[in-house]
Amino acid sequence: MEQTWESLFSEQAGIEGHSQQYISECLAYAGILHSHNVPVIFDKLHFFSFFPDIKKGRMEMFLLNLCCYKNYSIKKKAGGVRMISAPYSDLKRVQRWVYENILLKDLSSVSPCAEGFMPKDKDDIRNIVTNARRHARSKWLINVDIQNFFDSIKYDSVWEYFSKLGYEKEVADVLAKICTYQFRLPQGAPTSPMLSNLIVRSMDDAFVELASKCKCFYSRYADDITLSGNSDSIMPSMRDIYQIVYAHHFRPNKKKTKISFSCDRQMVTGLTITDGVHVPKKYRKDVWKELYCCKKFGVASHIAYRHPDQGMYRYWLLGRIMFIKSVEPECGEKMLQEFNSINWGI
C-alpha cells in the first residue's frame, strides 16, 4: 500500500527526533497550503532548496535587492516616461517559479471584472477587447486612470497576500521580498501583473458593489477603471469613485478622468465603443497608408524616408495588423493579405 505524504513526513520527522507536537503543527501548516493547491514551504532555506543551481549567497542578495534589476525608462504615448525595473535572469527565473506555482494556482481569487494580465484560457478569455465589449453602446461612460499603479502596491500588501494564502511569517517575508523592489511592485517582473490583480481584488469588489447599487457596469484593465450605464442606470458621483480609489491606497490621475456620452466618441482601453467595438479609424487608416507606401515606393525607400530609426519595421507593422485582426477579423485579414503580397526583399 502506497504511503501518503503525511505518513512519510511523520516517519522521517520521527527518525530525526522531532516531537509529536512539532509534527502535528507541520502537518496542519502543510494542510492549509495543500488546500490552496500551492507548494509547501517551511522556511527560507527550504525555499532556497527549490533552486539548487543558484547559490545561497545569490538568493540572499535577491532578498536585499542587491544587483538584481536593470532600470531603464520608456516613453509613454501620452508623454512622459515609464520606469521599468527588469530582473536579471536568475531572479526572473525565481519570480517565474512563484508566478507559475503559487499565483496561477490562485486565479479564482482574481475579480471577474479584472480584464488585464490574465493567462490565455479558452473558457475565460480576458483582454482589451472583452474589456471594451462590457461597455459597448453605453449611454454614459466614465474612465478613471490610477496614477503610478505598480509603485502604489507596497511590500506590506504583498506580504499580507502571501500570509493570507497560508504561508507563515518568514516565508511570506521571503516571497514578498522576491516579488518587490525597493518595497513596491517592480514594473518589469513577471510576478507583478498577477500580484496586482490579486491584491486589488478588494478594490474591485468595492466597485462591483457601487456598480450594483447604480445598476451599471464596472471593469478594470490594469490601471484603467471603467464604469458605464444605460437608460436605467444611475451615474455614480466622482466623489464616490475617487473615495474607493483613495481607500485602497491609490491615487487617481484626475487629468485623465473622462466622462462621455453616447453622442460623444467613447473609448475604452484604446478601442472605440460608440457603435460596437472597433480599432480607432485613424489607427486603421495609418496602417493602410503604410501598406500602400510599401507597395508604391518599395519597402527600403519607404523605411528610409518615413522610419529611418525603425530597425524591425516589418515586425512592427505585422504587430499592428495582428492587433487589428484580433479586434476586427475581416479588416485585419485584408490587411494581412496585402502585407503578404509586399516584396520584402527576402
Share of the chain above pLDDT 90, in %: 81
User: In this predicted structure, what is the pLDDT of residue 32?
Assistant: 92
pLDDT at 22 exceeding the cut of 90? no
- Reported as a single tens digit per residue, the pLDDT across 205-222 is 999 999 999 999 999 999
pLDDT at 80 exceeding the cut of 90? no
pLDDT at 27 exceeding the cut of 90? no
Q: Are residues 251 and 271 in the same domain?
A: yes
- Reported as a single tens digit per residue, the pLDDT across 161-206 is 999 999 999 999 999 999 999 999 999 999 999 999 999 999 999 9
CATH code assigned at 227: 3.30.70
**Do 49 and 40 touch, CB atoms closer than 8 A?**
no
The pTM assigned to this predicted structure is 0.89
Q: Are residues 94 and 72 in the same domain?
A: yes
Residue 311 lies in a domain: yes
Q: Among 251, 277, 303, which residue terminates a domain?
A: 277
User: In this predicted structure, what is the pLDDT of residue 5?
Assistant: 67
Q: Are residues 19 and 166 in the same domain?
A: no
Give Cα 69 to chain centroid, integer Å: 19
Of residues 10 and 58, the one with the higher pLDDT is 58
User: In this predicted structure, what is the pLDDT of residue 60?
Assistant: 96
Give Cα 181 to chain centroid, integer Å: 17
pLDDT at 18 exceeding the cut of 80? no
3-state secondary structure of 167: coil
The pLDDT-based confidence of 231 (bands split at 50, 70, 90) is confident
- Reported as a single tens digit per residue, the pLDDT across 263-292 is 999 999 999 998 899 999 999 999 999 999
- Reported as a single tens digit per residue, the pLDDT across 243-265 is 999 999 999 999 999 999 999 99
User: In this predicted structure, what is the pLDDT of residue 346?
Assistant: 55
Q: Per-residue pLDDT averaged across 95-115, rounded?
A: 97
Residue 50 lies in a domain: yes
Q: Where are the beta strands (DSSP E) in the chain?
A: 69-75, 81-87, 140-147, 217-221, 224-229, 251-252, 258-261, 267-268, 271-272
pLDDT at 89 exceeding the cut of 90? yes
Q: Are residues 124 and 270 in the same domain?
A: yes
Domain count for the chain: 4
User: In this predicted structure, what is the pLDDT of residue 7?
Assistant: 72
User: In this predicted structure, what is the pLDDT of residue 19?
Assistant: 77
The pLDDT-based confidence of 82 (bands split at 50, 70, 90) is confident
Q: Among 277, 303, 320, which residue terminates a domain?
A: 277
Q: Are residues 127 and 239 in the same domain?
A: yes
Residue 195 lies in a domain: no
pLDDT at 93 exceeding the cut of 80? yes
Q: How far apart are CA 93 and CA 115, in angstroms?
A: 26
Of residues 312 and 1, the one with the higher pLDDT is 312
3-state secondary structure of 289: helix
User: In this predicted structure, what is the pLDDT of residue 20?
Assistant: 81
Q: Are residues 115 and 102 in the same domain?
A: no
Q: Are residues 305 and 329 in the same domain?
A: yes
Residue 346 lies in a domain: no
The pLDDT-based confidence of 2 (bands split at 50, 70, 90) is low
Residue type, 79: G
How many alpha carbons lie under 13 Å from residue 186 in its C-beta half-sphere?
26
Phi–psi pair at 83, nearest 5 degrees: -85, 130
Q: Are residues 265 and 178 in the same domain?
A: no
Residue 322 lies in a domain: yes
pLDDT at 3 exceeding the cut of 70? no
pLDDT at 6 exceeding the cut of 80? no
Q: What angle do CA 178, 180, 184 make, to 5 degrees?
A: 165
Q: Are residues 120 and 257 in the same domain?
A: yes
The pLDDT-based confidence of 101 (bands split at 50, 70, 90) is very high
Residue 214 lies in a domain: yes
Structural domain of residue 126, as residue ranges? 111-147+200-277
Q: Are residues 140 and 260 in the same domain?
A: yes
Q: Which of 157, 141, 140 is nearest to 149 (CA)?
A: 157
How many alpha carbons lie under 13 Å from residue 227 in its C-beta half-sphere?
27
Residue 90 lies in a domain: yes
Q: Among 190, 208, 243, which residue terminates a domain?
A: 190
Q: Are residues 185 and 299 in the same domain?
A: no
pLDDT at 12 exceeding the cut of 80? no
Q: How far apart are CA 330 and CA 268, in angstroms?
A: 21
**Do 184 and 155 touch, CB atoms closer than 8 A?**
yes
Q: How far apart are CA 255 and CA 270, in angstroms?
A: 17
Residues 6+ apart with CB under 8 A from 299: 313, 314, 342, 343, 344, 345
pLDDT at 1 exceeding the cut of 70? no
Element (H, E) at 315: helix 313-327
Q: Per-residue pLDDT averaged across 89-117, rounded?
A: 97
Q: Are residues 89 and 178 in the same domain?
A: yes
